[in-house]
Amino acid sequence: MTSTIDENDFSPVQEFFGSGSIEAILKHHDDLPATSWITICINICKALFNIHSCHVIHNDVKADNILVDLDGFDVRFIDFGMSTFRKGLEFTASSDYMTKYKFVAPEVRENCHSTPQSEIFSLGYLFCQIMTQARVVQLRPLWKTCSSTRALSRPRLPHIIATLEEL
């Protein structure tokens, strides 16, 4: 990403990337084989691991915030508007309001700060979407463990990546 300067006005510019968001690909590419989806999931996890290794929490991991290039299955996270550095975000919305965000971890919906482990819950929700909409049943065990209501019971990204690579 770069920015251009015009008399103190800044405008972010981002490279053109890929075939669309995960959400769009799930809707319009129902012919994508399970092996391709598993490769996409591996790349999503590796990208999220890189984000976390920079001490950044994205705080909005969901299908429409991940772009995919179907020529090679590269991924890019977008919409870093809610991301935080070194410290999680505390969502202050009412619990009734937060219940409509099913991809948000239970502890975050109950006003705890977000953590990398709360993003694993969001990843589990994404795996569930891919599993059900693209019929990638191999993701079921990971969906279950990533979606644990207990943050400490959720697997870490290196374990998730290794599990996906074995599929």
Domain ranges of the chain: 18-166
Contacts of 92 (CB under 8 A, 6+ apart): 111
Q: Which pLDDT belongs to residue 37? A: 98
What's the pLDDT score for residue 96?
A: 64
Please say whether the beta carbons of 40 and 71 come within 8 A: no
pTM of model > 0.85: yes
| % of residues, the chain, pLDDT over 70 | 86
Amino acid 4: pLDDT: 53
Quote the CA–CA distance of 113 and 145 in Å, as a whole number: 21
Q: What are phi and psi of 58, to 5 degrees?
A: -65, -45
Average pLDDT over residues 6-10: 64
What's the chain's average pLDDT? 89
Q: Is the pLDDT at 12 greater than 80, yes or no? A: no
Supply the pLDDT for residue 17: 72
Q: Out of 1.10.510.10, 2.30.110.10, 3.40.190.10, 3.40.109.10, select the CATH number for domain 18-166.
A: 1.10.510.10
- Region 34-54: mean pLDDT is 98
**Gap between the Cα atoms of 132 and 126, Å rounded:** 10
